[in-house]
Amino acid sequence: MDLRKGKGASAPARAPGETAPGGAALPLAHRVTLNDIAAHAGVSRATVSLVLRKSPLVKEDTRQRIDQAMADLGYVYNRRAANLRSGASRTIGLVLCEIITPNYSQFTAGIDDVLDAESYVGFITNTAEDAARQKRVLVRMQEHGVDGIVLVPAEETRADALEEAHCGGLPCVLAQRRVEGFPADYVGPDYAAGMELVTEHLIGLGHRHIGFIGGVRRIAPLSERLSGFRKALRRHKLKIGPIVPCPVLDRSSGYAAARDLFAQDNPPTALVCYNDIVAFGVMLALTERGLEPGRDVAVVGCDDVAEAGLHRPALTTFTTDPRVVGREAAKLLLRRIENPSRPPEQIIVPPRLIIRQSCGSAAPGRAPAPTVGCSAATQAPKARRPRRPSPQALKGSAGT
């Protein structure tokens, strides 16, 4: 870059304030001011200020001329100065418990949909399920002056820990996971109702020995899922099948859990999985044992991730709509910022049952109830040559 005026050979670029040859300091980059824009557009500084505040008092042709002047000069609005005047930063802190999952990528996209439309910007950080790290992050967010926080709590988050992080005095919305005893707004899926839906569906297909795979963390979504699973079984006076804990972030955990379960006597005829990624791993393990998901053993999941409909067999599951949850969380937080004294609000996003091929197995000797999208096959399992899944097939990540 040539830092000298006029034409000539270019000199090596240097940072503003760096010493030039001969010992002279280079001038700092000039920040375009409202006076510069006014002079360029041939208007007063006050008129430029009205345009920046989107005042209806400025004629359209004058507004366009000022907009063009700002573009010509490379003007960037000084948000920091405006924040000092208004006392608001127009920034939101988004604190996630685990940033790598597709569930939270959709959740984040939903929040950004709303923030962008309202001229806010989000700061995103990850706690990696570490409650101590979460506390540090929450304090730092406030040090940077965010107007509010959307928090997906880390494992073992306690109400008193959130109070110690001064969240009680800051607009805060909890999402996806509740924290008992902390009086905050909440937005999340109805995990219990969703698990009840898929379990009822399996019972309707004739299954009486149904297991559950997934979940090791002490978090609200696990207890809510198990609550719905057990409620459906008890309604029909059925014994609760094996509950097999395993991590839920990739399909290898579901694969290992199902492999061990089906190495035992009297395995279930149907499996309810913590989420879709666990279900994909479960189906890999069944295939390896020569069992066909959707014919020999029914498998259902939770979340309806993009791959669920493309998997073979396609996965029966229920929606948790993370993008919708994200949008509602952002809207609720903005309402809280606008009116901090309003009573706490709770928004529950209802599930939808998505019936596909993986639920098609009926319990041996029982006829399945007619169900759209499910196989009516009732034959007993037939052994096939085991096929070991590739390492690539065991990769994948999941949501809450």
Confidence band, pLDDT 50/70/90 cuts, at residue 400? low
Confidence band, pLDDT 50/70/90 cuts, at residue 20? very low
pLDDT for 123 beyond 80: yes
Beta strands 148-151 and 353-354, pairing class = unpaired
pLDDT for 220 beyond 50: yes
Residue 44: C-alpha distances to residues 33, 47, 67, 143 (Å) = 12, 5, 14, 37
CA angle 197, 198, 199 (to 5 degrees): 95
CA angle 192, 196, 200 (to 5 degrees): 175
Average pLDDT, the chain: 83
Higher pLDDT, 248 or 300: 300
pLDDT at 395: 52
Beta strands 270-273 and 298-300, pairing class = parallel
pLDDT for 356 beyond 60: yes
Please name which of 202, 396, 398 lies closest in space to residue 294, comparing C-alpha atoms. Answer: 202
Least confident of 54-58, 121-125, 296-300, 353-357: 54-58
Contact (Cβ atoms closer than 8 angstroms) between residue 174 and residue 184: yes
268-288, pLDDT tens digit by residue? 999 999 999 999 999 999 999
Least confident of 7-21, 24-38, 262-276, 306-320: 7-21
pLDDT at 384: 38
pLDDT at 209: 97
Joined tokens for residue 338: 């606008």
35-69, pLDDT tens digit by residue? 888 998 999 988 988 888 788 888 999 999 988 98
Contact (Cβ atoms closer than 8 angstroms) between residue 101 and residue 109: no
Backbone phi, psi, residue 379, to 5°: -65, 155
pLDDT at 249: 83
Contact (Cβ atoms closer than 8 angstroms) between residue 283 and residue 313: yes
Largest separation between any pair of C-alpha atoms in the chain: 94
Higher pLDDT, 288 or 169: 288
C-alpha 276: how far from chain center: 15
pLDDT at 362: 38
> What mean pLDDT comes out for the span 305-327?
95
Contact (Cβ atoms closer than 8 angstroms) between residue 52 and residue 45: no
pLDDT at 380: 31
Joined tokens for residue 102: 């597709």
Confidence band, pLDDT 50/70/90 cuts, at residue 217? confident
pLDDT for 88 beyond 70: no
Please name which of 47, 89, 80, 85 lies closest in space to residue 66, comparing C-alpha atoms. Answer: 47
Higher pLDDT, 230 or 379: 230
Most confident of 18-27, 54-63, 112-121: 112-121
Higher pLDDT, 274 or 27: 274
pLDDT at 299: 98
Contact (Cβ atoms closer than 8 angstroms) between residue 62 and residue 34: no
3-state secondary structure the chain: CCCCCCCCCCCCCCCCCCECCCCCECCCCCCCCHHHHHHHHCCCHHHHHHHHCCCCCCCHHHHHHHHHHHHHHCCCCCHHHHHHHHCCCCEEEEEECCCCCHHHHHHHHHHHHHHHHCCCEEEEEECCCCHHHHHHHHHHHHHCCCCEEEECCCCCCCHHHHHHCCHHHCCEEEECCCCCCCCCEEEEECHHHHHHHHHHHHHHCCCCCEEEECCCCCCHHHHHHHHHHHHHHHHCCCCCCCEECCCCCCHHHHHHHHHHHCCCCCCCCEEEECCHHHHHHHHHHHHHCCCCECCCEEEECCECCHHHHCCCCCCEEEECCHHHHHHHHHHHHHHHHHCCCCCCCEEEECCCEECCHHHCCCCCCCCCCCCCCCCCCCCCCCCCCCCCCCCHHHCCCCCC
Q: At what angle do helices 322-338 and 102-117 cross, to 10 degrees?
A: 40
Report the percentage of the chain scoring pLDDT > 90.
Answer: 61
Least confident of 6-15, 208-217, 334-343: 6-15
Higher pLDDT, 311 or 87: 311
> What mean pLDDT comes out for the span 59-83?
80
> What mean pLDDT comes out for the span 290-296?
96
